[in-house]
Structure 1
């Protein structure tokens, strides 16, 4: 006897069946790197959620520096979610209600980080407070570019996993 399809498995079936271009559009909403989207798409069909998350991990591991910059370009600066962007606002909910002094310090730390590394400070902000994100940017600022690039790769992977779960469970 087969088990009834769950909403996630039904959505996964749709992800497996959708045309390449349509899937690329969906995936680029999750991660703005065209290379990542292509690599995830090429890993189809996904037998389960674990396979989809493995495709994310494999794609993240394969991204070069330019691809990581493409992926980061889709993210708002920490402390300033994109107005009207539900994903950005949801992921950065931890900054809502933070004191202005902390937001100002976070903005200054972001500016210093961007000047040093040439891209936004990227962290999986889901579930984090403004204070913990500020502490993280201060902790990571002394890193060299290669170390920071690998930390960013890991943080992007976490963000992508959360967004892939939302795709499967909220569609």
Structure 2
């Protein structure tokens, strides 16, 4: 969960640099990207900020992307969770066998590519994620690296949207 939610673009533009970096770091898990995005203020509108966030993400080195991926939990687990796949079923409302398949596919993905699976999965069930992992296991490493950056961009955008709130701001009535 983000600490900074619905703050509005004007408030983000006016924040002290350290607070602005912290707000964006929550969205992207990269100090470098967050600092560069904060230094680029003020932004005229959400779209300008989103385009700059994408440009900064796609300019990062592979090592920086690997660092970002370290912040993401294993598929089917919440950060810090020690629960087994079967125990996670209650959380994800999925059958134990699907969660075991998801865990197995996630391990195969890590073994194949050397980094964890990441996907923007708003509204997807475990079976959808399993199908996506299975499909992406057919990619070569270079292709998968590109897919991962695109997925990270989608995740960042969703989090930045939540951080900022609606384009016109919230009505205070």
TM-score range for the pair, normalised by the shorter chain length: 0.7 to 0.9
1:12-31 matches, within 5 Å, as: 12-31=9-28
Q: Structure with the greater relative contact order (CA < 8 A, sep ≥ 6): 1 or 2? A: 2
RMSD: 2.1
* Corresponding position of 2:61: 64
* Corresponding position of 1:46: 43
* Corresponding position of 2:88: none
> Structure 1: how far apart are the matches of 2:10 and 2:70?
30
Aligned pair count reads 154
The 3-state SS of whatever aligns with 2:8 is helix
| Kept after mapping to 1: 8 A contact 2:17/2:39 | no
> Structure 1: how far apart are the matches of 2:27 and 2:69?
11
Q: TM-score, normalised by structure 1?
A: 0.83
More helix by share: 1
The 3-state SS of whatever aligns with 2:105 is helix
Cα distance, 1:64 vs. partner?
1.2
The 3-state SS of whatever aligns with 1:142 is coil
> Structure 1: how far apart are the matches of 2:125 and 2:153?
20
- Indicate which of 68, 73, 81 corresponds to 2:70: 73
- Indicate which of 101, 107, 120 corresponds to 2:103: 107
Q: TM-score, normalised by structure 2?
A: 0.82
Cα distance, 1:83 vs. partner?
5.8
**Following superposition, which runs of at least 4 residues in structure 1 exceed 4 angstroms of deviation?**
none
> Structure 1: how far apart are the matches of 2:19 and 2:109?
35
Deviations 1:62-93 (A, max 9, x none): 11101111221221112112269xxxxxxxxx
Cα distance, 1:96 vs. partner?
1.2
Q: Which moved more, 1:156-165 or 1:112-121?
A: 112-121
* Corresponding position of 1:142: 138
Structure 1 alignment gaps of length 5 or more: 1-6, 85-94
* Corresponding position of 1:169: 165
Cα distance, 1:38 vs. partner?
2.2
1:125-136 matches, within 5 Å, as: 125-136=121-132
